[in-house]
Chain A
Amino acid sequence: MFKAKFKEAVICFSNPRVTLPYPFGPGAEVGEGYRGKIDVDETKCIACGGCANVCPSRLIRIYDDGEKTRMQFVLDRCTYCARCADVCPEGAIQVTQLFETSTDDKTDLYIEQELYMLTCARCGRCFETENAIDRIPTRRMREGRNFVGASMPHGAPGVRKRGGK
């Protein structure tokens, strides 16, 4: 019995203290690629709705209000799977390393954004965000680079290579 106790004592004393005085001091840093709270960059968003389509908790709501599209991220239900960041074709959704999200008011976690839609010069209807239109290549570019199906933003991933080449 004393032999066992001695071995246990050796294990205890050969390992120094590893706990941190969190939250009174700094905690351990999270690693690279950590899936924390998401952050949305409204200047990059093209309102394609891909994030709302894959969200397993269906917390991304998109309201089509005619001349503007309203997007609501109800993040109190977020499971931090970061699927939205994975599928975002424009990199508008990024995962941050923020994990200390406790609050006594859940609306603190909501993100809302409004994207103004451009109006068609011919028919006068609102149809697409400015960001998405910017990413449609002109006719000359289409002929030169042979973009396939790039007339709508869903075909746009090929367009993103513009800067790279």
Chain B
Amino acid sequence: MTLTAPPTFRPAGGGPDLTRAALSGRRRLTNHLATAAIWAAVLLAVVPLALVTYTVITRGGGVMSLSFLTEDIPNSYRRDGGGMAPAIVGTLLITGTAALMAIPLGVFGAIYLNEYGKQRPLARLIRLMADVMTGVPSIVMGLFVYLSWVLLVGAQTGFAGALALACLMLPVVIRSSEEMLRLVPEELRQASMALGARKWQTTLTVVLPAAISGITSGSLLAVARAAGETAPIIIVTGIVFSPNWNLFDGSNTALPAQIFRNASQPFDAAQDRAWGAALTLIVIVLGCTVLARLISRRFATKER
């Protein structure tokens, strides 16, 4: 880089002039333009977020009411009224069940990577493949669960949706939990081992509790992402118009699937329901996200 312009002015001290005035006009202009472009990029990200939030709140808020949250879905897109209760029940049940399956498995997977596998070839392969698995399109995961579970049991069920979401959550939980386990100081493990604890006791009673807040918040973020997944739900859970509390018997539905179905209808009633469902979904997803942040912030300093 040839950035050292000859100093034009030497103060009494004899050093070069390092003030901004000594910069050439072209360099100063480029710097200003670049700075402006970077600020513009940030604004460009804020605009769509603000617009989406505004539209969902105004349009969704217009249809939001207690009956919207508790009534059945009308079985015709044209009909006014009704609610989203079956989809809310479905979303909570399916996502919750998926979390119950994926989080424990993911945490144990992370324990393998950080406590046992470390830098062994197998562990590195699993780490890479977990990263790759986060990139597998959700529609492919939906097809996979359809072929390997729905065809097997012969029916679309809520549980099939939970399986698909669990597959999508698993790699995210593994990788975020591993990051958190890595932050646990080695001294804690050594102290526990020196007291005579076995490795599995150390891991379960010392390492895991030390990382639990980070693991919880990472897992909640994975749950939030999964709650918004649409494609697998559409393919593997079918559709219902009244709440189905049984995940293993009969079809089910979820908020994202209802948004998708209603959004492409030309009828106002359907579009209103889509906006209402979107607001409900965003509240659920944001609830998880905010909770995750609170947990990680609340315990972040305590752990050190």
* A and B form one complex: no
Task: Report which B residues bind A (CB closer than 8 A).
Answer: none
Task: Report which A residues bind B (CB closer than 8 A).
Answer: none
